[in-house]
Structure 1
Amino acid sequence: MNIQLTVKELLGPLQSVISVVEKNQTLPILSHVLIQLKDGKLTLTTTDMEIELRASKKIQAKEEACFTIFAKDLIDIVRKLTEETIIEFIIEETKIYIKVNNNSFELNTFNTKDFPSLPKIKDSEIIHIKRLVLKELIENTAFSMGNQDIRAYLNGLYFEVTKDNIIVVATDGHRLAIGEIKQENELTNKKTVILPRKAVLELIKILSKDENANVDIHLSDNYFYLTSDSITIISRLIDGNFPNYLQVIPTDYENTVVINRQSFLDNLQQASIFADERTKGVKLAFKGNQINIFSHSERGQAKTKIDIDNFNKEIEITFNIHYLISILENLTSDNVNMVIPNGENQSCLLSSIGDDTYQYVVMPMRV
Structure 2
Amino acid sequence: MKLILKKEDLNKGLQTVQKVAQNKNNNLTSENGLLIKAMNDVIEFQANDYDMGIKTIVPGIIEEKGEAFVANPYLMELTRKLPSDEIEITKKDADTQMIIKGGKLKFECLTMNPNDFNEVEILENGYSHFTTTSVVLKDLIDNTSYACATDVARPIFMGTYLDVQGDTISMVATDTHRLALKTAPLDTPIENPLQAVIPSRLLTEISRQLPTDIPEPVEITAVRSYLAIKFGNVYIRTRLIEGEFPNYRRVIPTDFQCSITVGRSEFTGAVERASIVAKDAQYNVINFVFGDGEIHLMSQNPDYGTIEDYVACQMTGEPLEISFNGKFILDILKHCHDDEVVLNTRQNSPMLVQDKGNEASVFVVTPMRTK
Task: Report % sequence identity.
Answer: 26
Match of 2:94 in 1: 93
| Cα deviations by residue, 1:188-242 (Å, 9 ceiling, x for unpaired) | 3321000111210111101146855211111233111110121111101000111
Residues 19-28 or 234-243, more deviating: 19-28
- The CA distance in 1 between the partners of 2:185 and 2:4, in whole Å, is 48
Contact 2:285 2:325 in 1 (8 A): yes
- The CA distance in 2 between the partners of 1:215 and 1:347, in whole Å, is 35
- The CA distance in 1 between the partners of 2:288 and 2:2, in whole Å, is 68
1:29 correspondence with 2:34: no
Query: 1:269/1:199 Cα in 2 relative to 1: closer, same or farther (>3 Å)?
Result: same
SS in 1 for 2:210: helix
TM-align CA RMSD: 2.2
Residues 310-319 or 127-136, more deviating: 310-319
1:144 correspondence with 2:144: no
Match of 1:329 in 2: 334
| Cα deviations by residue, 1:100-130 (Å, 9 ceiling, x for unpaired) | 3444444332332321135543423221112
1:237 correspondence with 2:244: no
SS in 2 for 1:279: helix
How many pairs were matched up? 365
Match of 1:74 in 2: 75
Contact 2:182 2:362 in 1 (8 A): yes
Contact 1:285 1:315 in 2 (8 A): yes
**Structure 2 letter corresponding to 1:16:** T
TM-score for both structures, normalised by structure 1: 0.92
Match of 2:183 in 1: 180
1:167 correspondence with 2:170: yes
- The CA distance in 1 between the partners of 2:212 and 2:48, in whole Å, is 19
Contact 1:69 1:96 in 2 (8 A): no
| Cα deviations by residue, 1:138-191 (Å, 9 ceiling, x for unpaired) | 111111111243111111110001112111101111100001112254433321
Match of 2:309 in 1: 304
Match of 2:368 in 1: 365
Q: Give the superposition deviation at 1:99.
A: 4.2
| Cα deviations by residue, 1:41-97 (Å, 9 ceiling, x for unpaired) | 321011111101112122244432211111423213212214514233233435123
1:5 correspondence with 2:5: yes
**Structure 2 letter corresponding to 1:133:** V
**Structure 1 letter corresponding to 2:335:** N
- The CA distance in 2 between the partners of 1:82 and 1:212, in whole Å, is 33
Q: Superposed, which structure 2 residues align to 1:256-295 within 5 Å?
A: 256-277=259-280, 278-295=282-299
- The CA distance in 2 between the partners of 1:37 and 1:111, in whole Å, is 15
Contact 1:137 1:180 in 2 (8 A): yes
SS in 2 for 1:29: coil
**Structure 1 letter corresponding to 2:109:** L
Q: Give the superposition deviation at 1:2.
A: 3.6
Unaligned stretches of 5+ residues in structure 1: none
SS in 1 for 2:131: strand
Match of 1:111 in 2: 113
Match of 1:351 in 2: 354
Q: Give the superposition deviation at 1:276.
A: 3.5
Contact 1:70 1:107 in 2 (8 A): no
Unaligned stretches of 5+ residues in structure 2: none
Q: Give the superposition deviation at 1:248.
A: 0.9
